[in-house]
Amino acid sequence: MTTPKIISFDDTTPEREESLPSNEKLISGSPLQVTENYYEDVKGKFFTGFWSSAPGKWHINYEGEEEFCEILEGVVELTSNDGKTSRFEKGDRFVVPAGFKGTWETIESCKKLYVISLVA
């Protein structure tokens, strides 16, 4: 069996995708989002890379995934459906657990490092 190679972000060209939240999810703004996925495991259940977004607000639903985030630039607020708001700025790290439902608002254009694990 071959030993898997270490993935260095410095030596990898990521898959790059630009998108907007769907009309059903979008609340305000025109938050163009860029995802640069540097790694996906062979089972398609673990991902990591960088994500950025212009200002805007949209509904989120972490039904079958958990995500670790580190904000590298900008300011974001996540508000749960029960009304609790968490604000994150450059240098902040947090986890969005499976089952979280609410909104994501990019207050100032942001960039984050993400690590996503599918749990369902």
Task: Sort strands 101-118 and 33-40 into parallel, antiparallel or unpaired.
Answer: unpaired
What percentage of the chain reaches a pLDDT higher than 70?
A: 99
Q: Which domains does the chain have, with CATH numbers?
A: 15-118 (2.60.120.10)
Closest CA to 75 of 31, 30, 33, 108: 108
38 pLDDT above the threshold of 90: yes
Q: Whole-prediction pTM value?
A: 0.94
